[in-house]
Chains A and B, each alone.
Chain A
Amino acid sequence: MEDATIIELYLQRNQQAIEETAAKYGAYCSTVASNLLGCPEDMEEIVNDTWLAAWNDIPPSRPNCLRFYLGRLTRNLAISRFRFARTKKRYAGMVSLLSELEDVLPGGTNPEEALAGKELNRCLQDWVDALEREERQLFVRRYWHGIPVKQLAQEAGISQNAMTLRLSRLRRSLRARLEQEGVEV
């Protein structure tokens, strides 16, 4: 079924919307959840929560791209799950992802010049836009889709160490940009 038709079903409050979404994007959202949390047991629950979140959000929302809209919901649910988890070690995927993103946090800057959330989004988007195609692809694969470093190394045909170094350079570059923009510690 076309995305526009599925969205129309949501707008009409027709529960078939959820069935169609699950049929079309179940595998996709499961992969995103699995990549992020690294915990297959919770995957199904997160994905079901994604359908519920979409049901509650459309309307008023009317996503342009249903696939990435659902991916975002999954990401948001995954970080919430991680935040409230008692045993964070269980979520190895998120632990390593957030640990890598620690590198991006800027050093000492003047809080008065700190960026607000929206500005942070814009700053990040600008930085991503300025990347060369392959680096943009790599950054988004790792930090949006949550694909493990090992898999990325296999895709690129380089060693895991080389991939780690490549990602580390990307993070340092982003950190420099955030510092330059005056992002708060």
Chain B
Amino acid sequence: MKSEDIYNAVTELRDDSVRAGERKLRRSKPSFMRRFGALAAVLAVVIIAGVVARPWLSSTLGGQTEQMGIASAEPNGAQLAHMDYEPVATNLEPTEEEPNGTGAANPNVVPTGLADWNAFSLARAAYPKMAPYPLNDPWHENQEAWDAWWEDYCALHPSDADYDRGMDDYLRASVPMLLSGTGEDNCVASPLNIYMALAMLAETTAGESREELLTLLNVPDLETLREQSKALWEANYCDDGRLTELLATSLWLRDGMDYNDETVQRLAEDYYASVYAGPMGDEAYNETLRDWMNEQTGHLLEDQIRDIGMSGDTVAALVSTLYYKASWGGGFSRVEEALPFHGPNGDTNPVFMRCVTEDSELYTGEGFQAAGTKLDGGGKMFFLLPDEGLQPEALLKNANALEFLLSDSGRSSADSRQVELTLTVPEFDVSAKLDLIRILQELGVHAIFEEDRADFSPLTTDNENPITVSEAQHGARIVVDEDGVLGAAYTIIEMSEAACEPEEPERASLTLDRPFLFVVTNNEGLPIFVGIIHDPSA
């Protein structure tokens, strides 16, 4: 390689990167050294060469698994490169000690690992440990801390990860369904969280049950789905104190029933699922399920989770969760004056916050204006304000707006101009609960709900009556204020034996003072949360 190769690669930088270099540098202010220190810190971190995989150990599913008809196996070390499984000791008592170490070094991180370590546990996924981002060391006085963080970050987020293949079609199909049908209520959902649950569900099915799910997830086969899900999981997992994005999954089995070892093992290994077995319908077992869900969602969704429980008919339940916390990359501050929000039921007076950025993109599309703002850790939050007189739901039927909402390519191809932007946004805290059965049926998934068509043979054949999906529920909550974005989501899918009836420089400003859409994305533009705000005070 020659320096000319680097020169040529620089030539091929994207337009938006090149545009960044059009503006003159800002003159340093007295506080320059401080700011530069922070920047240099970020850069110096990048100077660490080499990736050394953490010695996350592979181990076994052991202990009670044999009693439950699940054979112990030596998992493939490569497949478990980023995690370990800890066999459950007999009569293990939960302890105060944090078992998996997640967040041990970081007081902001949602605590995990206590609730899922108990008498019902068969195997517990231990999530990747990440060294904390040295937030308070902009001068790199502790180089070892920076080295440790960078090593862990690179191990989990390889830059060549290709995890969003086929996601566009899934998002285009599912997001309009997830965000419609709530009338004038606020709405929020996590398409990423639902994807993980549906991927696990596909693993437990065969025949047309599986085919319908693979079609919705837009993957040709299970092998591809496994690779994709694992890559998605890892690309979106971050727990370094700067960005907290924790994904977790679990599988809840019926005590005494025989399950297909290979499928259970697969869910544990490729989907990072913790596995439990207990008496279905038993209150202690349900309490464990709720504890696990509350732990993994930072107790943000307790109101919804308290109603969740498995019944005596349940054969198995699949759960996926997501917890997200990031501060703004820039700074929002509260607006002192009272501003009205023109909601569908009249004006309200939520708290507004404001951020002024010198060179921000203001996007203009057919029927909407939009702007984005950075979140620590590389993600962004975009706000789409429909033109006056237009409802947010109308934008979901507008191809350009939908592309903008769902993909980086949609955003980069949108008309935009660089402006000094004053972005005024109401603070909001919204949650929503969605019946996924109706949504899945509208998305073409039918067989898993029908006794004569559902095929769960990859999960178990130890059933007297046909197994169908009896419950599929998604819940999400997002809190947006001047500190940043805090969110959580869960998806639970229950399979039961009893058949059930499914239910149905230039300057510009953008003031979101009427109903709008939002999306929170990861560092490559993949939507983590999407939603509609009709009334931020609700």
Contacts and interface: CB of A to CB of B under 8 A. Distances in A.
Contact of A75 (B2, B11, B44): B11
A6 B117 CA distance: 66
B499 interface: no
Interface size class of A (residues with CB under 8 A): 35 or more
Interface stretch (A14-22, A44-52, A53-61, A114-122): A114-122
A136 B23 CA distance: 11
Nearest to B154: A180
B506 to A, nearest CB: 16
Interface residues of B, number: 49
Task: State the main secondary structure of chain A at its contact with B.
Answer: helix
Contact of B4 (A79, A144, A166, A176): A79
B152 to A, nearest CB: 13
B49 A68 contact: no
B10 A144 contact: yes
A97 B19 CA distance: 20
B27 A155 contact: yes
B142 interface: no
A185 B1 contact: yes
Nearest to A158: B28
A105 B6 contact: yes
Contacts of B378: 129-130
A117 to B, nearest CB: 7
Interface stretch (B35-43, B290-298, B332-340, B440-448): B35-43
A144 B42 contact: no
B50 A157 contact: no
A173 to B, nearest CB: 4
B17 A123 contact: no
Most buried by A among B32, B43, B160: B43
B266 to A, nearest CB: 30
Given A97-B7, A127-B46, A172-B47, A134 B160 contact: no
Given A144-B18, A176-B49, 9 more contacts: A104-B3, A106-B1, A137-B23, A139-B21, A140-B18, A141-B21, A143-B10, A145-B21, A181-B159
18 contacts: A64-B15, A101-B3, A101-B6, A105-B2, A107-B49, A125-B12, A132-B39, A140-B21, A141-B21, A141-B25, A145-B21, A152-B25, A156-B25, A156-B26, A175-B47, A176-B48, A177-B46, A179-B50
Interface of A: 64-65, 68, 71-72, 75-76, 79, 83, 97-99, 101-102, 104-107, 117, 119-141, 143-145, 152, 155-158, 166, 169-170, 172-177, 179-181, 183-185
